[in-house]
């Protein structure tokens, strides 16, 4: 019999162990800023060997809502994927780790009815959705045309508010 070595396929993700400090950090951030998703079951995973996209942007993280199919297989409502190489880089640091986790948690959102009550599905599980970013715009458009939309104006106000807090 002829033996040949087959190439092993690389894995792009890896579940972060539940005793990793990132879970403790996430718990504190959720408690302080994300009351609406406190009951959401969120797993953390490493994104391995992430390359910049064709525009040179490097993905730091992503929040993915579990589908109904996935929720049947595993008891998670969301998975937050974190770029392992960046997360562990000494220059990235604790403050950026917290900001990244907080950012990804902002994508996770509960679904409410008209009276403001959280909605559950027929299996008595809370219903969630993912939220998009508040703004999407090109820097050069703002440079050329200014804050031409209300969302840009509100975002600019938030920037100045954040800058005042730092000083």
pLDDT in tens, 91-100: 999 999 999 9
Categorize the per-residue pLDDT at 112 as very low, low, confident or very high, splitting at 50, 70 and 90.
very high
pLDDT of residue 7: 85
Residue 34 has pLDDT above 90, yes or no: yes
pLDDT in tens, 69-86: 999 899 999 999 999 999
Q: Give the span between the Cα atoms of 136 and 141, in whole angstroms.
A: 11
Residue 58, burial from CB neighbour count under 10 angstroms (0-12, 13-18, 19+): exposed
pLDDT of residue 101: 97
**Contact in structure between 33 and 98 (CB atoms under 8 Å):** no
Q: Which of 140, 10, 26, 21 lies closest to 80 in space, CA to CA?
A: 26
Lateral strand order in the sheet of 13-15: 13-15, 42-47, 78-83, 61-65
pLDDT of residue 11: 84
Region for 57 from its dihedrals, namely left if φ exceeds 0, alpha if ψ lies in -120 to 50, beta otherwise: beta
Q: Which of 120, 121, 123, 150 lies closest to 137 in space, CA to CA?
A: 150
pLDDT in tens, 17-26: 999 999 999 9
pLDDT in tens, 146-166: 888 888 888 888 888 888 777
pLDDT in tens, 134-147: 888 888 888 888 88
Residue 111 has pLDDT above 90, yes or no: yes
Whole-structure pTM value: 0.85
């Amino acid at each position: 019999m002829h033996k040949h070595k087959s190439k092993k396929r690389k894995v792009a993700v890896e579940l972060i162990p539940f005793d990793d400090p990132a879970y403790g950090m996430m718990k504190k951030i959720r408690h302080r800023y994300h009351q609406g998703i406190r009951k959401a079951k969120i797993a953390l995973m490493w994104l391995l060997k992430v390359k910049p996209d064709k525009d040179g942007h490097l993905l730091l993280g992503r929040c993915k809502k579990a589908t109904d199919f996935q929720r049947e297989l595993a008891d998670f409502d969301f998975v937050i994927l974190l770029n392992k190489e960046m997360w562990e880089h000494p220059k990235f640091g604790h403050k950026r780790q917290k900001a990244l986790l907080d950012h990804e948690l902002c994508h996770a959102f509960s679904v409410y009815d008209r009276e403001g009550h959280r909605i559950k599905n027929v299996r008595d599980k809370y219903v969630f959705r993912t939220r998009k970013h508040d703004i999407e715009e090109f820097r050069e458009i703002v440079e050329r045309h200014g804050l031409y939309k209300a969302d840009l104006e509100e975002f600019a106000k938030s920037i100045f508010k954040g800058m005042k807090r730092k000083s």
